[in-house]
Amino acid sequence: MLKYTAKRILHLIPVLLVISMVLFGILKAMPGDPVLAMMPQNPSAYKSPQAKQKIYNEIKRRMGYDKSIPEQYIRWLGRVLKGELGESNTQYKPVQQVIAQPLKNTFILNVGSTIIAFILSVIIGIKSAVRRGGVYDKFWQVFSLVGISLPTFFTGLILIFFLAFKLGWFPAGMMPITVGLTKGEIFLSWIKHLILPTITLTIGSLASTSRYVRNSMIDALSQDYIRTAKSKGLSDKVVIYSHAFRNAMIPVVTVVAWAIVGMFSGAAITETIFAYNGIGKIFIDSVMQQDYNVVMALNMMYALLNVFGNLLADLGYALVDPRIRLE
């Protein structure tokens, strides 16, 4: 497996190189001029049209936008290989510093919702498959359909309206206040602010994943080896969890792999609704502000997560299914 993993990682290098070229070209083809966004907004800063043009040319030269697109790409790639992602056009600090804290915030938000959704999905999916056609199964089938159908922003707005505005149980959004608080108070503040966005993300993930587990379990329970296990007198618990569940996990591995990758990718809509300073919100803000260096860095991060998500899914298949041999 180590040999296979090393080979796949080597194959990812040209893939990422091509992706970076495409993304860089698309970014440069976007309408708008990032230099204008970096110009001083105070009209008194320009004594004359010539002075304004001089400032424009200086910013353009400093950012390297006066070079041809291939030369800009090569210079960008050279910086990335040295671990430099450039400087934010709007915040005037290294991109690493711009995305470091939002990335941490996104992980904190997503890791909780992912773990909760996965555990509940396994429990609900197994019970729904075992009690197929019953009241329990029908309830969660309806829940899944509603959860999948409702847009994330609509779910978030409903939770904000009832639990924040009407009942006042939780904050409507924003980041927790930590100034002047003890460690215990800071922890409680984080919990309160994370509850609503976590519920929003969990509902969508639970609706789809539980349905996936249920269908996989139904398929596994209908196999001949399950009937053989029952005919040997094995208990239902052993048949379900030792025989059916392991085989049912094979198609679920893909969902789990992408859920792990998703912990770092951000939830742009949810983070925007709750004004949560995560990587998804930073990405949207950077696109709107034409902050090319930040957008490019995040796009490459998403590309990297996607290719490694595929690798993780392949490795997961081999771990769960002994019939699969990776070479």
DSSP 13-49: HHHHHHHHHHHHHHHHHSSS-HHHHHS-S-GGG-SSH
CB 173 within 8 A of CB 161: no
- Residue 263: the pLDDT is 67
The C-alpha torsion from 174 through 180 and 183 to 186, rounded to 10°, is -10
Q: Classify each residue of 262-281 as buried b or exposed e, where b means 16 or more C-beta atoms within 10 Å of its C-beta.
A: bbbbbbbbbbbbbebbbbbb
pTM for this entry: 0.78
Across the strands, what pairs with 87? 94
- Residue 124: the pLDDT is 92
Q: CB count, 10 Å around CB of 81? A: 8
Digit-by-digit pLDDT tens for the chain (327 residues) are 677 778 778 888 888 899 999 988 888 887 777 777 777 766 666 677 777 788 888 888 887 888 888 888 998 888 888 888 888 877 878 889 999 988 888 888 888 888 898 899 989 998 998 888 899 999 999 999 898 888 888 888 999 999 988 888 888 877 777 777 788 878 888 888 889 999 998 888 888 888 888 988 898 888 888 888 888 888 888 888 877 887 787 777 777 777 777 767 657 888 888 888 888 888 888 888 888 888 888 888 888 888 888 787 777 777 766 666 665
- Residue 265: the pLDDT is 65
Q: CB count, 10 Å around CB of 77? A: 14
- Residue 113: the pLDDT is 87
Tokens 């999916």, located at residue: 125
Fold of the CATH domain 95-320: MetI-like fold (1.10.3720)
The sign of the dihedral angle between the CA atoms of 226, 228, 230, 232 is: negative
CB 120 within 8 A of CB 213: no
175 DSSP assignment: P
- Residue 162: the pLDDT is 92
> Both ends of the chain: CA-CA distance in Å?
7
Residues 6+ apart with CB under 8 A from 126: 213, 214, 217, 240, 241, 245
87 DSSP assignment: B
Q: Which helix (H) or strand (E) holds 302?
A: helix 292-320
**C-alpha to C-alpha distance for 151 and 77, rounded to whole angstroms:** 37
Residues 6+ apart with CB under 8 A from 136: 127, 128
Q: What are phi and psi of 180, to 5 degrees?
A: 75, 15
Rg of the chain taking only CA atoms, in angstroms: 25
Across the strands, what pairs with 94? 87
- Residue 175: the pLDDT is 75
- Residue 138: the pLDDT is 93
**Secondary structure E strands in 156-279:** none
Q: Where are the domains of the chain?
A: 34-84, 95-320
